[in-house]
Amino acid sequence: MDARTATGMQGQEVAEARYLGSGYRVLARNWRCRIGELDLVLARGSTLVLCEVKTRRGARFGVGFEAVDARKQAKIRAVAEAYLIVSGIEPRSIRFDVASVALRMNGSTSVEIFEDAF
């Protein structure tokens, strides 16, 4: 596994732990189809949450949230539609979140969840 993949996986674990601590259930991790991938698919009550996790080890490329531009948002929406078709889930509401995770040199982490980001 390369460093970039390991960084992404660590960030997803941090984001997932935050959601679990807030009462969410994880329905899928790294769900893939031919058009793309969903990092985290979660549910709480009748709300389905699709979370894009962006992890950074430094500020050189900006914070993770900034990487989810209009093009990325459109792709996530398309993959989410495929997930709904395949899973058969019919949620009352759907929310698209972005988790911006920072991994610091001292081993500490921080995560900021942008709910209903797009």
Q: What is the pTM of this model?
A: 0.91
Instruction: Provide the pLDDT for residue 59.
Output: 63
Per the prediction, the chain carries an average pLDDT of: 93
Q: Which residue has the higher pLDDT, 98 or 1?
A: 98
The CATH number of the domain holding residue 95 is 3.40.1350.10
User: Please, which residues bridge with residue 49 across strands?
Assistant: 42, 95
**What is the total count of domains within the chain?**
1
Distances (CA, A) of 88 to 27, 33, 80: 13, 15, 12
- Residue 41's Cβ-count burial label (10 Å; 0-12, 13-18, 19+) is buried
Using one digit for the tens of pLDDT, what is the confidence trace for 33-87?
999 999 999 999 999 999 999 998 866 656 767 789 999 999 999 999 999 999 9
> Which residue segment(s) compose the domain that 85 sits in?
3-114
The pLDDT-based confidence of 10 (bands split at 50, 70, 90) is very high
